[in-house]
Structures are given as structure tokens and as C-alpha cells.
Structure 1
Amino acid sequence: MREVARGLGLELEVVARPYAGVRGVWVREGEEVPEIPREGGFKPLPKRWVVERTFAWMGRNRRLGKDYEYHPEVTEAWMYLGMIRLLVKRLARAA
């Protein structure tokens, strides 16, 4: 994998989760895993809610509610149209 990244001129950094029960903590390869205190209760991951919110916006478009397109390019085009619709709606409200 590193050879492929080097051949493409990309920088690759391998990270690993210290253990499965902890989310959002990554360590570089060869580094020691820090001790993390366990906290109770639900805490959303920092970026995950942004992705989930975007999926919810896309799901409001009837055509994107289910993935039944044969070609992935068609789905991609509909996703662009859905986001364009959302952004135009926001711009119209702001004006």
C-alpha cells in the first residue's frame, strides 16, 4: 500500500484504533496507546453528525430515498441535483 501511495506521489499515514471500545482516538503505527477514561452516556462523534445530516437532506429527495439506479453515475447526478436544489433554496431565502 505504501509503495502505491509513493508511486502516486501521496503521503500515507497508517493509524490504528487502540481498542474497539473507544471511538475517536487514533494512534500512529508504533506509538503507545494512551489510557483513556471511560465516560458514560451518549456522545456523538464530532464529524459523524454532519454526514448523517447530509444523508437526511438527500433522503428528502424522493428519487434518492432508495438506491435503485442501475448506473452509479445516475445516482451521483441525482445527488448533485439534490444538493443544488438545497443550496438554491437557501440562497433564495437569504435574498
Structure 2
Amino acid sequence: MKAPAAQERGYDAGKKVVGRKRHIAVDTNGKLLMVNLRPADIADSTGAIAVLEALQKRWPGLKHFFADGAYDRRALMNKAATLDFVVEVVRRHEDQFGFAVLPRRWVVERTFGWMVRWRRLVRDYERRTDVSEAMVYIAMGGLLLRRIAHP
């Protein structure tokens, strides 16, 4: 007997991702502020708009954000301006090849690295998106507890 298929799954041909994408917002230390799971076929900027709206409700004092080049879209920038946010897009240079550390972008990438240390976050095993989001919060909560216990 097979398990039922997961809800809200898609395919992003550009990134070769099947399933869901995780859009996260972290502070400058890499602590998770918000996570939003979307089907992989939804544009990155659409997921970021949902994150910005949720951030405004939960943390109204946040005003400045750093974003990946994939989030440099007119709809997202217009929404950010409407919400009184400043979004600074961090891009790599055109003549750059291979890996290089970019300002502030490495913080989010490091947080994704911390997430995949948890077995259930390596792959998206969950059927429901709310359970999958909860697993991300549980994993990052464990990281925060370790940081408090061992500063």
C-alpha cells in the first residue's frame, strides 16, 4: 500500500526541484524569523511576498532586508515599498565563476545548512505543508536551545 501523495507540490525546471521550496527570513545571526513553504512551480518572488507580509505582522520594527538575485522582481519590490521595507538585492559579479562568499547572503545559506542536519528536513517527507513548516521551526528551536545552553 502506498502513502497518499503530498499536497501542494510542484516542479521548478530551472532549479530542478520537485516538491516544495522553503522561503525563509533570518536575522543577521542566522536565527529563523519566518518560514514559508510553497510548491516548487510558484515563483520565488511570490513566496517572498508572503514572507514579507507575515514579517510585517509579526515584527513591525524590521525595515531592511537582504535578498538573493532571484527575488529581484518588480512585483516584490513594489510590495516591499508598499509595506515600507527596503530590500537590498545581493548579486554576484558578472565575471565571477565558482563559489564566492557574498555579503549577508551566506547567513541564509548557513541556516539552510543547519536545517539539513535534521533527518526529516533533508527531504520533504511530510504530506501537509503546515507539518513541514512545524518541523523547520522545531529544528531551529533545537538550535536556539543549544546556543542558549552553550553560548
- Shorter-chain TM-score tier: 0.5 to 0.7
Are positions 1:43 and 2:100 aligned together? Answer: yes
- Please list every run of at least 4 consecutive aligned residues from structure 1 whose deviation after the TM superposition is greater than 6 angstroms: none
Identity in percent = 46
Mapped partners of 1:52, 1:82: distance in 2: 16
What is the identity, as a one-letter code, of the residue corresponding to 1:60?
A: R
More helix by share: 1
What is the identity, as a one-letter code, of the residue corresponding to 1:43?
A: A
Scaled by the length of structure 2, what TM-score is found? 0.37
- Give the alignment of 1:7-26 within 5 angstroms: 10=83, 23=91
Partner of 2:131: 74
What is the identity, as a one-letter code, of the residue corresponding to 1:55?
A: F
Residue 24 of structure 1 and its aligned partner are, at CA, apart by 5.2
- Higher relative contact order at CA 8 Å, sep ≥6: structure 1 or structure 2? 2
Query: What RMSD in Å do the two structures reach over aligned CA positions?
Result: 3.5
Q: 2:116 aligns with which of 36, 42, 59?
A: 59
Deviation readout 1:21-60 (Å, 9 max, x if unpaired): xx358xxxxxxxxxx9x57885322122111100110001
2:150 alignment partner, SS class: helix
Partner of 2:146: 89
Structure 2 unaligned blocks of 5 or more: 1-74
Matched length = 72
Give the greater-gyration-radius structure (CA): 1
Structure 1 residues 41, 11: CA separation in 2 closer, same or farther (over 3 Å shift)? same
More strand by share: 2
Mapped partners of 2:134, 2:121: distance in 1: 11
